[in-house]
Structure 1
Amino acid sequence: MSDFPPLGHVALTVKSCDVSRPWYQALLGTQPVIDEDAGPWYHVVWALPGGGLLGIHEHPGTPSDDSFDERRVGLDHVSFHCGSRNELDAWKGKLDEMGVRNGGITDAPYGSGLSFRDPDGNALEFFAAPEN
């Protein structure tokens, strides 16, 4: 094998697809491509630009008081790449319009990031590499 394959999909566990589906739908601005009971879990999946997929999974038995914590072993965060700092500014505006709390845009030598969380606390980010 010569090249590592591209990332295909990310699936995040949520407490309720009924709660998270409209939140993600508003964020992504599109309808899901899959919305089904796959027994033993329920999942909803959106197609992303570039061919990747983002899914949310509801598993039976997930504690109702559980929430994501990036300090535990496993996923730290999911990042969506923006083409420019201006695009990042536009996403900040959209999050604000949606009432989504966020950390504001943080600039660093390696790029600029905008961190926020979904209704279950899953850590998400919009990121723009430095412009030349």
Structure 2
Amino acid sequence: MAFPGLQHVALTVSDLDRSTRWYAALFGTEPVLDEDEEGGRFHHTVFALDGGMLFGLHTHQGRESGEPFDEQRTGLDHVGFAVGSHAELERWAQRLTELGIGHDGIKRAHYGSGISFRDPDNIALEFFTGPDS
């Protein structure tokens, strides 16, 4: 049996309104869902991305730890978005700059190339393409 691909990612954020605006600008689209979870334990805003992937932002009604994101802590290290070519990666670098989102440019390695950047909660994000792109 083949292992299934990722269907969604959900991030806990400190300020849902701020993060929703930030991700809407990055994704170039508005959320498709903005509601309280059925049991009332969290509120989520969800974006539908190309390829059927869902990207959610969660707030836990004030129960968040308040600690800043740290990829050195056990848990999430970063979220990587696949791009199809180095040329597309270059366009994303330009788009990040246009949006005022800080990044260190394209980093190349034998296994591929990527651009690392951070969201308003300092969560590490990356655009990445393989070595043959």
Give me the TM-score of the superposition, normalised by structure 2. 0.93
- Structure 2 equivalent of residue 101 of structure 1: 102
Secondary structure class of the residue paired with 1:114: strand
Find the counterpart in structure 2 of residue 67 from structure 1.
68
Deviation at 1:33, TM superposition (A): 1.1
Give the deviation of 1:6 after TM superposition.
Answer: 1.2
The 3-state SS of whatever aligns with 1:73 is coil
Q: Which amino acid counterpart does residue 61 of structure 1 have in structure 2?
A: R
Deviates more, 1:78-87 or 1:40-49: 40-49
Following superposition, the deviation at residue 63 of structure 1 comes to 4.3
Query: Separation in 1 of the partners of 2:70 and 2:103?
Result: 16
2:17 corresponds to = 18
**Which residue does the alignment assign to 1:76?**
77
- TM-score, with length taken from structure 1: 0.94
Q: What's the % identity of the aligned pairs? A: 54
Two-structure CA RMSD over aligned residues (Å): 1.1
Q: Give the distance between the partners of 1:13 and 1:63, measured in 2 at CA.
A: 10
Long gaps (5+) in structure 1? none
Which residue of structure 1 aligns with residue 48 of structure 2?
47
Report the residue type matching 1:16 in the other structure: D
Could you list the per-position Cα deviations for residues 31-77 of structure 1 after superposition, in whole angstroms to 9, with x for gaps in the alignment? Answer: 1111112222111111111111111101122244x211000000100
Per-residue CA deviations over 1:8-44 (Å, capped at 9, x if unaligned) read 1110110011110000000001111111122221111
- 3-state DSSP of counterpart to 1:31: coil
Give 3-state SS (helix, strand or coil) of 1:43's partner: strand
Cα distance in structure 1, aligned partners of 2:121 and 2:82: 22
1:127 counterpart = 2:128 = yes
User: Which residues of structure 2 form unaligned runs of 5+?
Assistant: none
Deviation at 1:3, TM superposition (A): 0.7
Misfit runs of 4+, over 2 Å: none
Aligned position for 1:32: 31
